Amino acid sequence: MERVIIHVDMDAFYAAVEQRDNPLYRGQPVIVGGTVEQRGVVSTASYEARKYGVHSAMSMYEAHRRCPQGIYLPVDMEKYRAVSQEIMTIFQQYTPEVEAISLDEAFLDVTGSCKLFGGAENIGHQIKNEIKKKLQLTASVGIAYNKFLAKLASDLDKPDGFCVLTPNDLAAKVWPLPIGKMMGVGSKTEEQLKAMHIKTIGQLAQVDLALLERLLGKAGRQMGEMARGIDLREVEPVREHKSVGRETTFPKDIQQSQLLETVLFELTDDVCYTLRSQKLKGKTVTLKIKYADFKVVTRAVTMDKYTANFEMVFAQIKQLLQQHYREGMPVRLIGITVSHLKAEDEIVEQTSLFEDNKQEEKHQKLDAVLDKLNAKYGKESVIRARKLEWEQE
Ligand code: TTP
Ligand code: MG
């Protein structure tokens, strides 16, 4: 099945946000970047400033020379990041398959959601409209059957662009373009290709793929394929892990806290193992109980630290059970969820020499040993001592 991919790229992003937030800047040449004193460069220039030949990565000194009357502003990353979040939230309404490439740019694979929204072009227009209405900003949209062409398309009609490329458009719209317009063609590769008298994408499409690979490596072959309109790269969303949970429904209602604890022990072990294997840690532990009358109760506790450690999580869930379960109440289902997750390497640990840290370290070592054995011999081969005790009872 042919894929449908949309590429969205905001127009003059940093400068457009500044123009939106200050009416005096609208219609003016606005240049966002560092300072001349600090030998800074241009981050971006409004389309009005581009007329004077000012562009990204140019020295501020040169920008001032070309456009002395320009409005020069510092970079306000926090503000652009917040706007970016809002843009990405709009994309998510149309598909979860969103791959953000930078703050102002993303690929959306809408193959699966086209029908629901009345076609890809409709989605493209709706996204543009929503960005304009909600954020007072303009975006350029490109639609095609692969990433390479979708990105090329969004650039073809900038600013406030809308462009669809089909296989039939290759010869007329893509092949006449200079090879510099291709994704991943750096200036060095461009020089090499020009030395071979390859200046346009169409000329590149004529070159034997094996020859390109010999001359420029794997990337050379890939470029040759893209020039022919072939690009199999997937849209790769960074999947946000919101929570990891397990629950179980009993064949017969359970009425003893001791038994519930035993089940939670197993479920917690599973959840923590999943967290660790995905290199995640969590801060909030939630207990879920569904009673025989189908009434559901959830109770959560937030720890002061991120963890994927079994002992720590189990201590919390056990306490929740003790606090909120009344002995004798028939339970139909029980579950545990760990949420408020973060990737291990994003967590800044507070180093301390206190005793409980040593204890924690010991627990973590045990987790690590068990994980290793599990990985080697299978999940069921290693059983925590306490679990063994129960199984022998
Ligand atoms: P781009 O999308 O490349 O540029 P743009 O959005 O300003 O303009 P347009 O897409 O209409 O051509 O980059 C997005 C933002 O990233 C840009 O607003 C500022 C920042 N940026 C830099 O800080 N340095 C750079 O060299 C580039 C290219 C962009
Ligand atoms: Mg942009």
Report the chain (393 residues): mean pLDDT per 10 consecutive residues: 94 98 98 92 97 96 98 95 95 93 95 94 98 98 97 97 97 95 79 90 96 90 95 84 88 93 94 90 96 92 94 96 95 95 76 60 81 70 56 45
Ligand 1 geometric centre to CA of 109 (Å): 23
CA dist., res. 298 & res. 128, Å (int):
40
**Which residue lies with its CA nearest to atom 28 of ligand 1?**
56
Indicate which ligand has the atom closest to the C-alpha of 46: 1
Report CA-CA distances (Å) from 227 to 62, 174, 198, 200, 267. 35, 8, 12, 9, 52
Residues 205 and 327 grouped into a single domain = no
Ligand 2 geometric centre to CA of 138 (Å): 10
In this prediction, residue 393 carries a pLDDT of 41
18 lines ligand 1 (CB under 6 A): no
Identify the CATH number of the domain in which residue 318 sits: 3.30.1490.100
Residues 278 and 347 grouped into a single domain = yes
CA dist., res. 265 & res. 273, Å (int):
12
Residues 88 and 235 grouped into a single domain = no
Q: Is the peptide bond before 159 cis (omega within 30 degrees of 0)?
A: yes
Where among 101, 133, 162 does a domain terminate? 162
Neighbours of ion ligand 2 (CB under 5 A): 9-10, 13, 104
Identify the CATH number of the domain in which residue 63 sits: 3.30.70.270
**Candidates 30, 43, 155, 187: which one to mutate for ligand 1, based on the most atoms within 8 Å of Cβ?**
43
**Which residue lies with its CA nearest to atom 8 of ligand 1?**
12
> Following DSSP, what letter does each residue of 215-273 receive, concatenated?
HHHHHHHHHHHHHTT---PPP---PPP-EEEEEEEEEEEE--HHHHHHHHHHHHHHHHH
Residues 254 and 383 grouped into a single domain = yes
Q: One-letter amino acid identity for 154?
A: S
Residues 111 and 28 grouped into a single domain = yes
Number of residues assigned to the chain:
393
User: pTM of this prediction?
Assistant: 0.67
CA angle at 389 for the pair 384 and 391, rounded to the nearest 5°: 95
Atom nearest to 47 CA in ligand 1: 11
231 lines ligand 1 (CB under 6 A): no
In this prediction, residue 329 carries a pLDDT of 95
Closest CA to 173 of 193, 191, 155: 155
CB 48 within 8 A of CB 27: yes
Residues 40 and 16 grouped into a single domain = yes
In this prediction, residue 356 carries a pLDDT of 59
In this prediction, residue 174 carries a pLDDT of 97
- State how beta strands 331-339 and 280-291 pair: antiparallel
C-alpha atoms less than 13 angstroms from C-alpha of 255 in its C-beta half-sphere:
4
158 lines ligand 1 (CB under 6 A): yes
In this prediction, residue 347 carries a pLDDT of 76
Report CA-CA distances (Å) from 388 to 30, 110, 179, 365, 367. 70, 50, 66, 20, 17
Where among 174, 204, 239 does a domain terminate? 239
CA 169 to chain centre: 31
> Following DSSP, what letter does each residue of 82-148 receive, concatenated?
HHHHHHHHHHHTT-S-EEEEETTEEEEE-TTTTTTTT-HHHHHHHHHHHHHHHHS--EEEEEESSHH
Q: For residue 365, what are the domain limits? A: 243-392
Closest CA to 106 of 132, 140, 138: 140
CB 331 within 8 A of CB 254: yes
In this prediction, residue 245 carries a pLDDT of 94
**How many helices and strands in the chain, by DSSP H and E?**
13, 13
Residues 38 and 185 grouped into a single domain = no
Residues recognised as catalytic: 105
Residues 203 and 146 grouped into a single domain = no
Indicate which ligand has the atom closest to the C-alpha of 47: 1
Indicate which ligand has the atom closest to the C-alpha of 43: 1
- State how beta strands 30-33 and 71-73 pair: parallel
In this prediction, residue 240 carries a pLDDT of 64
CA dist., res. 195 & res. 358, Å (int):
63
Identify the CATH number of the domain in which residue 172 sits: 1.10.150.20
Residues 269 and 145 grouped into a single domain = no
Atom nearest to 15 CA in ligand 1: 18
Report CA-CA distances (Å) from 124 to 96, 111, 118, 121. 15, 13, 11, 5
CB 35 within 8 A of CB 167: no
10 lines ligand 1 (CB under 6 A): yes
Ligand 1 geometric centre to CA of 103 (Å): 9
159 lines ligand 1 (CB under 6 A): yes
- Count the domains in the chain: 3
In this prediction, residue 303 carries a pLDDT of 94
Where among 200, 223, 239 does a domain terminate? 239
Residues 42 and 157 grouped into a single domain = yes
Ligand 1 geometric centre to CA of 322 (Å): 55
Atom nearest to 42 CA in ligand 1: 24
Ligand 1 geometric centre to CA of 102 (Å): 9
Residues 45 and 87 grouped into a single domain = yes
CA dist., res. 215 & res. 204, Å (int):
13
In this prediction, residue 392 carries a pLDDT of 45
- What is the number of other CB atoms lying within 10 angstroms of the CB of residue 229? 21
325 lines ligand 1 (CB under 6 A): no
99 lines ligand 1 (CB under 6 A): no
Residues 14 and 42 grouped into a single domain = yes
CB 14 within 8 A of CB 75: yes
Ligand 2 geometric centre to CA of 44 (Å): 9
In this prediction, residue 349 carries a pLDDT of 59
104 lines ligand 1 (CB under 6 A): yes
